[in-house]
Amino acid sequence: MSIDQSGERTAEPVAAPPRLTWAAIRPLVLRLHFYAGVFIGPFLLVAAVTGLAYVWTPQLEQAVYDHELHVPVAPGVVPLEQQAAVARAVVPDGTVIGIRPGPTPADSTQVIFTRPGLEPSYHWTVFVDPHTGIVRGQLETYGSGQAMPVRGWVDTLHRSLHLGDFGRWYSELAASWLWVVVLGGLALWLGKRKSSRSKRGRVLAWHRTTGLVIAAGLLFLSATGLTWSEHAGTSISELRSRLDWTTPSVSTALPAAAPQARDVGVDAVRAATLAAGLADPVEIRPPSAPGKAYVVQQVGRDWPTKADSMAVDPATGRITDTLPFADYSPAAKLARWGIDAHMGLLFGVANQILLTVLALGLIAVIGWGYRMWWLRRPTRGDARAGRPPARGTWRRIPGRVLAPVLVVTAVVGYFLPVFGLSLLGFLVVDLIAGVRRQEVAS
């Protein structure tokens, strides 16, 4: 209370709550962007370099494995059943799980096996000349895309650095933080200050401009990359399952009374689906158990997407179920397109060129970021590295804004545990650095 000139008591003016301005938030965003760039930068750099190497492996494997993948064009074709028998003879301990007829007369037939001693997701593939029935080679292949050894090796390098499950932390760490770095950079760009004409100012301008150009692509790579990660990928899979966004599959169930004594064979199965319009390239999968149907699935990964599938009764050769890609849910279609685009397969060479530009742009942005850090270093004293932005900036943010931010961060950290744990690590490092700096100052 206060007393005015007439001697009466009046109420004290109520202080206005602190206004949320960009000036109050910017230092906190800048500090997070700085720490993420410095500590996550090496992981992003490795992911960009290995991803760049992977992008062009389809052309590389076509050249390296030309003998296995391609055959001289000749008249006549040996029945698929006979080709599979030839392949079984050279892999007596294997079980056939798929047959991929050559989509053109110049392509070999791939007979795919499981066999003892193979790592998960790996297969043993025998390549057969469809015109002569002669085996042209056999290789260990990887994944549903039947990647040849060189592509499988580079893919594992990109995913885990050949360090097993432990190595997958690196790629998940990179994917978990990439979107944070990008969004922080966009926020700083929107509220940017005028760059100086100094050497550091010029580097900052290059860093900003390139980051802005590639931002959408990097967000896409982060989102699709997380679907493959070990921990975040599990959360994403559970969420997709709860929302019924999973990829559907054709039904292989057969009527209980269907006869099981005979099998029309893969040639009749392929003829039936081909007559029904299921175009190459396809993979023919034998029944997984008695009472189950053959599955013929299109395996084309380019645009337009070829992912139709049909089930065929082995006793009659009749099609029992059909699942066209057009019937996939929007979420399942987006997942398929996103994965294929991330791998550089969806739009062919154009897709590969775009990913190359993104990888080179990210490498440049990381390099310029470290360059700015170096230019920020003190020229006097014992310090050898650039100083981070000022501490304590979070205190300037009103509680009504900071509280929901902390809640959202906790939720994101729960579903992206590698992000959450590394963020806690940043906070611990920052706290220790702050304590040490106070001790030195005192």
The least confident of 104-113, 115-124, 186-195, 308-317 is 186-195
- Report whether 360 contacts 353 (CB < 8 A): no
123 burial type by CB count under 10 A (0-12 exposed, 13-18 middle, 19+ buried) = buried
Q: Dihedral of the CA atoms 142, 147, 152, 158 (nearest 10)?
A: -110
pLDDT tens per residue across span 409-435? 888 888 888 999 988 888 887 777 667
Q: Write down the pLDDT at residue 14.
A: 47
Q: What is the pTM of this model?
A: 0.85
Total length of the chain: 442
* % of the chain beyond a pLDDT of 70: 86
Contact by Cβ (8 Å): 261, 315: yes
- Asked whether 3 and 10 are in contact (CB, 8 A), the reply is yes
**Structure confidence by residue, pLDDT tens digits, 172-202:** 999 999 999 999 999 888 877 666 778 888 9
Nearest one of 23, 256, 52, 50 to 153, comparing CA atoms: 50
Residue pLDDT, tens place only, 76-103: 999 999 999 999 999 999 999 999 999 9
pLDDT, tens digit (0-9, with 9 covering 90-100), for 27-53 = 778 888 888 888 899 999 999 999 999
Average pLDDT, integer, range 15-20: 49
Exposure class string for 403-419: b at 16+ Cβ within 10 A, else e: eeeeeeeeeebebbbbb
Give the residue carrying structure tokens 């270093």. Answer: 377
**Phi, then psi, of 142 in degrees rounded to 5:** -130, 135
- Residue range 247-265: average pLDDT? 82
Q: Evaluate whether 51 touches 362 at the Cβ level (below 8 Å).
A: no
| Separation of alpha carbons 142 and 122, rounded Å | 5
Strand order in the sheet with 309-312: 135-142, 122-128, 109-114, 95-100, 282-285, 294-298, 309-312, 319-323
What is the pLDDT at residue 17? Answer: 47
Radius of gyration of the chain from its Cα atoms, rounded to whole angstroms: 29
How far apart are alpha carbons 185 and 30 in whole angstroms?
Answer: 8
